[in-house]
Amino acid sequence: MSSQPSESLRLPRLDAAFLALALVLADFAIHHSTAQKVLGAFLAIVLVTATVIDLKRRKIPNWLTFPAAVLAVCLGLALHPSGLLDQVLAGLAAGGFLFVFAIIYPKGLGMGDVKLALVMGLYLSGSVAVAMVIGLVCSAIAGLFVIGKHGLAEGRKIGLPLAPFLALGGAVAILAGPEILHWYNQH
C-alpha cells in the first residue's frame, strides 16, 4: 500500500475549513453539555486536519496527534473529571486495536493511524467504538471498490489513506455516537 494518492483524492483547504466549521456548528447545535460540545469541536478540527494531511502526504504527523491528545486530557480534567478514566481507556483501546494491525502489517497501516485512533478515543470515550466500526467498514468497502476496478493483483497495491475513513466515523460519533450506542444496547 505504498502508492501515492491520486490528485482527485485531495481536499482543498477552503473546503476543509468549511467542513470543519459545519461539523463544529452541528456539534454545538446537537449537544447539550459543555463537555460534549467542546470535546466534539476540537476533535472535528483534528479529524479534518488529519484528513487533509493524510490525503496529501500519506502521514498523520505527531505535531497534530500529540497536542490533540494532551488537550483532550486537559479538557476532560477541566470539564468532566469523572469521565477522564473512560476517555483514557477508550483511547488506549482504540489505539491498541489498530496498533496490533500496524505491527502485523506495517505497510498497510501506519503509526499515525494508531495515534489518531488513540486521540479519537480520548475525545469520544465509549463512542469511539462507533467511530472505529464506521471508519473501518467504510475503508473496507472502498478497498473492495478499488479491487473491483483494478483487479485483485493491482488493487492490493493501491494504498488508501485511513484518516478520511476514521474521520467519517469520528464525525458520526461526534454527532450521534451516544445515541447509536444506546440504540445498539437496546437491540
Does residue 1 belong to any structural domain of this protein? no
Range of the domain at 134: 7-186
**Amino acid identity of 59?**
K
Residue 7: is its pLDDT beyond 50?
A: no
At CB < 8 A and 24+ separation, what contacts does 14-22 make? 16/48, 16/49, 16/51, 16/52, 17/48, 19/48, 20/44, 20/45, 20/48, 20/49
pLDDT at 33: 87
Banded model confidence at residue 1, pLDDT cuts 50, 70, 90: very low
Q: In this structure, which amino acid lies at residue 160?
A: L
> Between these two residues, 16 and 62, which has the higher pLDDT value?
62
Structural domain count of the chain: 1
| pLDDT above 60: residue 6 | no
Helix %, strand %, coil % of the chain (to 5): 85, 0, 15
> Can you say whether the dihedral through the CA atoms of 35, 40, 42, 43 is positive or negative?
positive
- Residue 19 CA to residue 23 CA, distance in Å, equals 6
Alpha-carbon span 68 to 163, nearest angstrom: 15
For 115-165, write each residue's pLDDT tens digit.
Answer: 999 999 999 999 999 999 999 999 999 989 988 888 888 877 778 899 999
Distance from C-alpha of 133 to C-alpha of 169, rounded to nearest angstrom: 7
Q: Flag whether 2 is in a domain.
A: no
Per the model's pLDDT, the better-predicted residue between 74 and 178 turns out to be 74
pLDDT reported for residue 32: 77
pTM, full prediction: 0.87
For the cut 90, the answer to whether the pLDDT of residue 42 exceeds it is yes
Query: In this predicted model, what pLDDT tens digit does every residue of 18-28 receive, in sequence order?
Result: 888 888 888 88
Could you tell me if residue 144 is inside a domain?
yes
Q: Is residue 126 part of a domain?
A: yes
What does the pLDDT look like over 77-109, one tens digit per residue?
A: 999 999 999 999 999 999 999 999 999 988 888
pLDDT of residue 95: 97
Name which residue leads in pLDDT, 17 or 79: 79
Q: How far is Cα 71 from Cα 164, in angstroms, rounded to an integer?
A: 22
Residue 182 lies in a domain: yes
